[in-house]
Structure 1
Amino acid sequence: MIGFLGYNFYFYSNENSEPIHVHVSKGKPSKNSVKFWIRENGIEIAYNHVNIPQNELNRIYKYICANKTIIIPRWYKYFGIPK
């Protein structure tokens, strides 16, 4: 799990059939989270179930963009998928 601005970034073990993505929430992992798809051509919000304020979403988005080279290999490792 990665942390930033009091938010935690994590994966769910039953979602490896989906494209690369990360969940973000305050505190422990929760279904009430924000899901960010991480694609080759950019990052987008799949959903925001916790209504994180837009200014914080913008900062989290920038953080993910700046750290996707760290997040992507962790996603592959977490799911045991060779890259």
Structure 2
Amino acid sequence: MPTVLRSGPYRLYFYSHEPNEPPHVHIDRDDATCKFWIDPVALVRNLGFSAKELREMERLVIDNQQELLEAWHEYFSD
């Protein structure tokens, strides 16, 4: 599970066994977790985050979209 970004209390990472899904990132804080598609940015799943935090994380993914996509393609390239 490579961590690709840390921002405040949030850890953004990939699972190494999900290369057949569209580019996405998992985000954790304490016991809460969510998953966002990277392009286009969209919430896939949420377990424990408030709507306010989800908006903050969506902005975080949007602001770092290019870097996240590059990291995804680099990690999962053949």
Q: Normalising by structure 2, what TM-score?
A: 0.85
> Any idea what SS the aligned residue of 2:52 has?
helix
Q: Which 4+ stretches in 1 moved above 6 angstroms?
A: none
Mind listing any 5+ residue stretches in structure 1 that lack a counterpart?
Answer: none
> Any idea what SS the aligned residue of 1:37 has?
strand
Which of 18, 21, 28 lines up with 2:21 in the alignment? 18
Encode CA deviations 1:15-56: one digit per residue, 9 max, x unaligned: 0000000000025xx8x62010112xx31111002x111111
Q: How many residues align?
A: 75
Aligned-residue sequence identity (percent) comes to 29
RMSD, aligned CA: 1.7
8 Å CA contact 2:38–2:68 kept in 1: the answer is no
Mind listing any 5+ residue stretches in structure 2 that lack a counterpart?
Answer: none
1:35 equivalent in alignment to 2:32: no
* Amino acid across the alignment from 2:9: G
Q: Distance in 2 between matches of 1:64 and 1:4?
A: 11
1:68 equivalent in alignment to 2:65: yes
Tell me which protein shows more strand as a share of its residues.
2
Q: Normalising by structure 1, what TM-score?
A: 0.81
